[in-house]
Amino acid sequence: MGRLKQKGKAGAAKAYMTRSAAVKKLQCSLADFRRLCILKGIFPREPRNRKKANKGSSAPTNFYYAKDIAYLAHEPVLRKLREHKAFAKKLARALGRGEWSSAKSLEDNKPVYRLDHIIKERYPTFVDAVRDIDDALCMIFLFASLPSDSKVSPSLIENCARLAAEWQLYVMHTHSLRKVFLSIKGVYYQAEVFDQTVTWLVPYQFTQTIPTDVDVRVMLTFLELYQTLLGFVFFKLYTDAGLVYPPPLDVQKDEGAAGVGAFNLQEAKVNRPATTAAKSKVVEVDGKRISSKDVRQTIKSISASGSDPLHPPAIDLF
């Protein structure tokens, strides 16, 4: 007799997990869960039977693969987010008590996470990264044209403008641009990089405003991932082209609103190891030691004398 299946312990009920159950399992806030899903590329799934996946309930909810949630449980970024939550509590307590030295020490040791390992996981090859930079470039050029406010810091806009200028410099240097199209949204550009077609949108240089109905936090999470991705891609592109990355910035030109012209492309100096002198081969003829260096010097003297190369004069090498 086969093993009896218990309700809610097998099938769709075990393969899928609701968003509230995922947040409870990961022990994080909804905002942190949304950030993790964006960074790791995990998105909701639609089961064949929503009622079976929700263990008999027909309430509307989002479902995720249980394996994806188990994959998120071992993410180092999740551990850093938990440490940041504890850091925020300690900092608020120190500021409330007026312990300024403790607050300064906590601020200096603020937990910071990196996304390098996520980029390597999501893009195992460089061609995969180049194929997926369309949205990243559109986001970078969009934020480079936005004004700074309480949600978008000036340093973030400056970094986006720098990445946008680096991409334009590379496209101009390698002559990779293929098509340009003007639309009501902006200017569409299309370039061919590593046999991959890259299309991005550059907004017009008008005064931009951030709509109130747009969740900027979600866009900033995507932007955080895209900045790390473009940093890796640009370093590889510049290195293969024999250029220095990042390109040096001329401060005077930048203050004069030179834009892309404020960056200077420089060729990378390849430190090649000094070639060792060829080992001279020594041959003993009639009791005399003759090296290959002596033979080369004799050939040079023949060429300098201007004699007939077909009938050179007899020279006693020995």
Q: Digits of tens for pLDDT over the chain (318 positions)? A: 566 666 666 777 778 888 898 999 998 899 999 999 999 989 888 888 788 787 777 778 888 888 989 989 998 999 998 898 899 999 999 999 888 888 889 888 888 888 999 999 999 999 999 999 999 999 999 999 888 888 888 899 999 999 999 999 999 989 999 999 999 989 999 999 988 999 999 998 887 778 888 888 889 999 999 999 999 999 999 998 888 888 887 777 777 777 777 777 778 776 555 444 444 556 565 556 667 667 677 666 665 555 444 444 444 433
Inter-helix orientation angle 134-144/154-174, to 10°: 130
**215-222 long-range contacts, Cβ below 8 Å, gap at least 24?**
216/151, 216/152, 217/31, 218/34, 218/38, 219/139, 220/151, 220/152, 220/156, 221/34, 221/35, 221/38, 221/39, 222/38, 222/135, 222/139
Q: Which residues contact 126 (CB under 8 A, 6 or more apart)?
A: 194, 233, 236
In order of 93, 241, 253, 263, 270, the CA distances from 260 in angstroms are 46, 18, 10, 6, 26
**Does pTM top 0.85 for this prediction?**
no
pLDDT of residue 232: 92
* Dist CA 19 CA 22 (whole Å): 5
Q: Which helix (H) or strand (E) holds 85?
A: helix 76-97
* Dist CA 292 CA 290 (whole Å): 7
Closest-CA residue to 74 (of 36, 41, 111)? 36
User: How is residue 12 written in tokens?
Assistant: 């769709």
pLDDT of residue 34: 92
List beta partners, residue 202.
187
Closest-CA residue to 223 (of 136, 292, 96)? 136
For tokens 């194929």, name the residue.
Answer: 131
In order of 37, 177, 222, the CA distances from 47 in angstroms are 18, 43, 26
Of the CA atoms within 13 Å of residue 77, those in its CB half-sphere come to: 19
* Dist CA 84 CA 26 (whole Å): 15
> Torsion angle of alpha carbons 51, 55, 58, 61, nearest 10°?
-100
For tokens 């009501």, name the residue.
Answer: 184
